[in-house]
A and B are shown apart, each in its own frame.
Chain A
Amino acid sequence: MPEGTVNQGIGASVRRKEDKRFLIGKGNYTDDINRAGQLHVYFLRSPVAFADIVSIDKQKAEKASGVAAILTGEDVAADGLGGPICGWAPTNKDGSAPSEPPHPILANGRVRYVGDHVAAVFAETLEQAMSAAELIDVTYSEMPAITDLKSAMDSPQIHDGMENNTYFDWELGDEAATNDAFDKAATIVNVDIRNNRVIPNAMEPRAAVADYDTGDGRYTLFTTSQNPQLTRLVIGAFMLNIPESKFRVVAPDVGGGFGSKIYVYPEEAVCVWASKKLGRAVKWTADRTQAFLGDAHGRDHISAVKLALDKNNRITGLRVDTLANLGAYLSAFAMVTPTYLHGTLLSGVYDIPAIYTNVKGICTNTVNVDAYRGAGRPEATYLLERTMDVAAKQVGMDPAEFRRLNFIPKDAFPYQTAVALQYDVGDYEPLLDRAMAMIDYKNFEKRRAASAKNGKCRGIGISTYIEACGIAPSAVVGALGGRVGLYESAVVRVDPTGTISVLTGTHSHGQGHDTTFAQLVCDKLGVDIEAVEIVHGDSDRTAFGMGTYGSRSLAVGGTAISKALDKVIAKGKIIAAHMLEAADADIEFKDGKFTVTGTDREKSFGEIALSAYVPHNFPHDRLEPGLEETSFYDPLNFTYPSGTHIAEVEIDPATGVVELVDWVCCDDFGNLINPMVVEGQVHGGIAQGVGQALYEEAAYNDNGQLLSASYMDYCMPRADHFPSMKVENLVTACTHNDLGVKGCGEAGAIASPPAVINAVVDALSPLGVTDITMPATPQKVWQAIQSAQTKAAE
């Protein structure tokens, strides 16, 4: 880099460009958008969990002040509309297809969860729509709610024709080899694992504004989406029969998603449909309770885990049987999250020769469940890392050393796991060693003793994780039942005066792409970061892309940008060669300049850009004018970030309150573009994982009522719950993408819950506690202590 220049390229912690508009209130969110003459829509939702709709009397409501229309499931059926489709349908273990029952956008004769959409009320103001909704008289014939995951399979059918309330029954791995491992095992470890249901709670609730232009027959939808073009494809082709060319979908600034804003929900589809049907633009914004009852929930698994060890405490086999609660209807990626995003991670960072897993996806009268930060990988990591701790204790080994003993060795890569995935590269011991050093692991017992003198229980918990992200190679996706491709697009458009727009098919809703993707451009082209604009979220502007989730934007989207930049440079070299009257091979590009090797003859990037658009001295025989290049990149493999997180807790046994007193982590994300952004991602992921482990629970009662449907009862993690977290990185570059990057967005949420629970159990084990479920609330911790003491007294 030339002396005196500020580093804005790869590896620099450049301050985020987008923060200015967010901090001064100039973000442009969907609820900020208003269209002339718009109607407001309010959705009447079912107050009961499972019932047939006997009748809907909307006469009085339709006459209420300001009401334009009231639509119900009858109108949806009359117009022949489709419902939100599944993006991925894994095959059952017997070779049959999974069940995909109808998913109407307004309930068709039956409601299946509290919150299910019964009617849409359109009025001049939101208050008028809400008041009119209160006048709608719905008669329900209630049936007992089915909320318990274990007994749902033996309960009455929630969807006609779907037996045992089972969407799918899937398996992966080698059952015979695994059974054999257990037959021969020296030690068998059995652990029951519950992964609790959580609710995403993005800061911005979902919203939509839809407008149909009778002049040109085009629809416009502003929506809080992580993937606007996918939304356009699903609503257009599968739900409302709108040609893509007549449909613009824009996801403007979006305040967090974490997966919950991937899916197409009934609300935005109803808005689009109504905008034409009623001849007026339609606006909808959820309030927080609607977010609790409407946004797809996360996790909610019950697993039985069995681990086989040989006499040297090496793992020889693993079996996991899982029930995954998918809720009342199938959300877009509900079926892949507990199967191919979960089962394939069951080897973790360990060398396990035989693995078998069976997963059943179950329907209950609860909110739909789908991918939420980590999507299947937190579930896999949690059960593995809890089992490793239980196993270590059972055989009398230190939990760190038991893990180390079973790590995949550094020279074993590429490593083919027993659950389909092949890890390209990795080195797990340095991550463990570094984390142990950071938290001073070897002196932990002294700290435990000091805490005990103060009447507190101190514990330490490790989590060594790996995850598979950077999704995904399309051919693999297709072979496994996926119905989408997972490539990414990038258009690098150089302007005549040398400024650059990068149009990406990814989306940024907190990830910082406005800055980090611009850094890629600065790094390759040597331009100033202020000269670069990243454009995302508008289907009228960008090429087709799959959006942002699964920690894919940098690995897949960034690589597409990198390749498009390479094409720009390649073309620039030919232009420069022509202008400098040199051979192509003699042209170098470095620090923003094209030079003839070994001379001081050069052209700046800006001069080349101008030349491309004012092509007077230009190789017309070889090139077209202009300087704009496109790349669609389909990744060659998943990427495999890994790391070690270690948590230290102090528990007050008198109240059961768990305090996090220290947190360290050492992660391998491959190359880092912006270390500050990476650290922020890790902090946020850890916070969400700690939230699941200690605070958050979506609690349903037996009537299918969500008891935690507001912040009065649903406990979010807060800043004062956390110590200063120490975050470090080691790098083994990804072997199969140009940037050597792996992605980091979900790793914190994947790694953290087992670190917390392992620490809690470690803290309480002197009192006789051997296990605790998430969230480890004060009541639960106190109760566990009481139960253990009572048992000890017996």
Chain B
Amino acid sequence: MRRELVELLVCPVTRDPLKLEVVSEDEHGDVIEGALVSERINFRYPIEDGIPNLLPPDLQRRADEPA
């Protein structure tokens, strides 16, 4: 995920800006693993394999449930 994308993103619940946390990045500085944090609802939207998951928390929990 390109770092400048953060400027375009907001929390889908509160529409507040998100805080970027970087765990790993590639040689171009793009984020590979990390999170986008919505502080008001204390939720971390994960970034995995360079792709941020900004599904609202209720949909993320549903996706995590076993089929």
User: Do A and B assemble together?
Assistant: no
Q: Which residues of A contact B (CB under 8 A)?
A: none
Q: Which residues of B contact A (CB under 8 A)?
A: none
